[in-house]
């Protein structure tokens, strides 16, 4: 289990936590550190974030929470997710998320904070948090779909297809599964060919004009997750998940 970094002008950060890329708390922190390292290299012009295995990301490792007494694992996962999502957003160069299979929970946090998304035709996107007794990443889902659709997805835990998100303009390009990496790299090369000083200022300026402070908004959502765990709803949901 690891996060891999392939440095270069187009740096590739690859999530690899089989079988479904449900990251443990330490994995989220490692992902944050790797993304920060990639962006801090002055030679980096674009970062491509992708994953190995059956899908892009299934969110947090709920089994880790179930086997850890108290709220230690929950708190660590929440801090790790916040750090990883922020590392995507704060990366000084554009981040392209290359998504295959499923993108759920924390995966939405990563994708929603990315600058561009390419995905395979079979990719699905959803927030099953309500069924898991948690809240969070509606902040990032709001960057992918309109408000009422976001609310529908949160309340029902329904997922959307890549084709549906492509129709909204949230996904830049749909790719064949076998060509996902090439599709992401081709888009990255187009951006990397621009003046790197201008691109870095463009990223900084676009973050500066965002109507929502994504980091503050997500931490507010996490506060409601803490409440659900204090009143027992979170534990009940996790027990049902593991049954």
Q: CA–CA separation, 125 vs 140, rounded Å?
A: 12
Confidence of residue 241 (pLDDT cuts 50, 70, 90): low
Mean pLDDT for all residues in the chain: 94
> What fold, for 2-178+198-242?
2-enoyl-CoA Hydratase; Chain A, domain 1 (3.90.226)
- Asked if the model's pLDDT at residue 1 lies above 80, the reply is no
Long-range contacts formed by 221-226: CB under 8 A, 24+ apart: 221/135, 221/136, 221/137, 221/138, 221/139, 222/78, 222/82, 222/135, 222/136, 224/135, 225/74, 225/78, 225/134, 225/135, 225/136, 226/71, 226/78
- Asked if the model's pLDDT at residue 234 lies above 90, the reply is no
Q: CA–CA separation, 93 vs 66, rounded Å?
A: 37
Confidence of residue 68 (pLDDT cuts 50, 70, 90): confident
Confidence of residue 31 (pLDDT cuts 50, 70, 90): very high
Stated pTM of the model: 0.95
Share above pLDDT 70 across residues of the chain, in percent, rounded to a whole number: 98
Q: Across residues 45-62, what is the average pLDDT? A: 96
Confidence of residue 115 (pLDDT cuts 50, 70, 90): very high
Both tokens assigned to 16? 């690899």
> Is the backbone of residue 89 left (phi > 0), alpha (psi -120 to 50) or beta?
alpha
- Asked if the model's pLDDT at residue 222 lies above 70, the reply is yes
Q: Would you state the pLDDT for residue 191?
A: 98
Greatest pairwise CA separation for the chain in angstroms: 54
Q: Across residues 5-25, what is the average pLDDT? A: 97
Burial, 234: exposed, middle or buried (Cβ in 10 Å; 0-12, 13-18, 19+)?
A: buried
Q: pLDDT tens digits for 126-185?
A: 999 999 888 999 999 999 999 999 999 999 999 999 999 999 999 999 999 999 999 999
Q: Mean pLDDT lowest for which of 73-82, 156-165, 208-217?
A: 73-82
Are the beta carbons of 116 and 96 closer than 8 angstroms?
Answer: yes
Confidence of residue 65 (pLDDT cuts 50, 70, 90): confident
Q: Would you state the pLDDT for residue 209?
A: 98
Identify the residue with better confidence: 134 or 200.
200
Q: How far is residue 122 CA from its own chain's centroid?
A: 18
Cα distances from 77 to residues 46, 102, 138, 166, in angstroms, run 27, 20, 17, 30
Q: Across residues 1-8, what is the average pLDDT? A: 93
Confidence of residue 49 (pLDDT cuts 50, 70, 90): very high
Q: DSSP readout, 13-45?
A: EEEE-TTTTEE-HHHHHHHHHHHHHHHH-TT--
Q: Would you state the pLDDT for residue 242?
A: 60
């Amino acid at each position: 289990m690891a996060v891999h970094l392939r440095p270069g002008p187009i740096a590739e950060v690859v999530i690899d936590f089989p079988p479904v890329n449900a990251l443990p708390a330490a994995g989220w922190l490692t992902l944050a550190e790797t993304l920060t390292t990639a962006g801090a290299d002055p030679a980096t012009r674009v970062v491509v974030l992708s994953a190995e295995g059956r899908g892009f990301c299934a969110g947090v490792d709920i089994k880790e929470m179930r086997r850890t007494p108290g709220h230690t694992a929950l708190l660590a996962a929440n801090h790790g997710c916040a750090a990883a999502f922020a590392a995507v957003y704060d990366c000084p160069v554009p981040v392209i998320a290359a998504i295959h299979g499923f993108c759920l929970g924390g995966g939405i946090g990563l994708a929603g904070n990315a600058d561009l998304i390419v995905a395979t035709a079979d990719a699905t996107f959803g927030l099953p948090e309500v069924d898991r007794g948690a809240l969070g990443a509606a902040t990032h889902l709001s960057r992918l779909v309109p408000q009422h659709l976001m609310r529908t997805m949160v309340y029902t835990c329904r997922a959307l297809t890549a084709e549906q998100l492509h129709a909204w303009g949230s996904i830049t390009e749909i790719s064949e599964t076998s060509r996902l990496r090439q599709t992401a790299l081709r888009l990255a090369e187009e951006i990397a060919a621009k003046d790197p000083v201008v691109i870095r200022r463009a990223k900084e300026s676009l973050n500066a004009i965002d109507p929502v402070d994504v980091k503050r908004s997500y931490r507010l959502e996490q506060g409601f997750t803490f409440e659900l765990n204090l009143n027992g709803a979170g534990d009940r949901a996790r027990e049902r998940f593991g049954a």
